[in-house]
Amino acid sequence: MTSYPVSFSRVVTTHDSKTGKAVFDHSVDDIVPFAGFPVPTGKPTTSDYALAYVTTTFPVQGLSPHTSLIPESHANLDIKQYKSSLRNLSPLNPENGTACTVVEVPYGNEIAMHRTASLDYGVIVDGITELVLDSGERKTLKKGDVFIQRGTAHSWRNLTREDDNGGVLRIFFVFQPIEKIMVEGKELGQDLTLALH
């Protein structure tokens, strides 16, 4: 029997500093480890995440390799920023950056109501989930379905059968920065503890 979460391979490309041709970067591990998703103190973790990549600028800056014209301090800045982010992990994007994150929700678990200050592109990689909004509206999403989360409050319920891949729900996310969301003069900011209110 497979134990979850199952790590996955991630490759990063770059440019050869002499030819400009595309090559694989070898400065970061190909295997992306999972960590428990951050939750309020005293609450159990209900999911795991793997930070596949993160940037701290948008648009992304510093993709040029080190050459005679580009000093090392200005070369491959995104890779350096990602490596630095691994020392202080977060599944979400920095204020002005992006994050590529994979989330796994074990069989029968759910992720409580929360709001991220981001525009999220997501793909259901494995399993079935119910996306629940704070209005009470619900949609069921299955493997291959895509969703766009626009800074809205939501929760996830894993509806995957236990005999289907161990009941694991796996979602691929790209989190992007957004301007503040205002409704009737009130800011709807990030709140990872909405379920506790």
pLDDT digit string, tens, across residues 132-190: 999 999 999 999 999 999 999 999 999 999 999 899 999 999 999 999 999 999 999 88
- Report which of 109, 74, 85, 71 is spatially closest to residue 32, judged by C-alpha positions: 85
Whether this model's pTM surpasses 0.75: yes
Q: How far apart are CA 184 and CA 166, in angstroms?
A: 45
pLDDT digit string, tens, across residues 100-135: 999 999 999 999 899 999 999 999 999 999 999 999
Question: Which CA distances in Å does 24 have to 10, 13, 15, 37, 96?
Answer: 11, 4, 8, 29, 26
Supply the CATH classification number for the domain 8-196: 2.60.120.10
Domain coordinates in residue numbering, the chain = 8-196
pLDDT digit string, tens, across residues 152-166: 999 999 999 999 989
What are the residues facing 92 on neighbouring strands?
none
Q: Is the peptide bond before 91 cis (omega within 30 degrees of 0)?
A: no
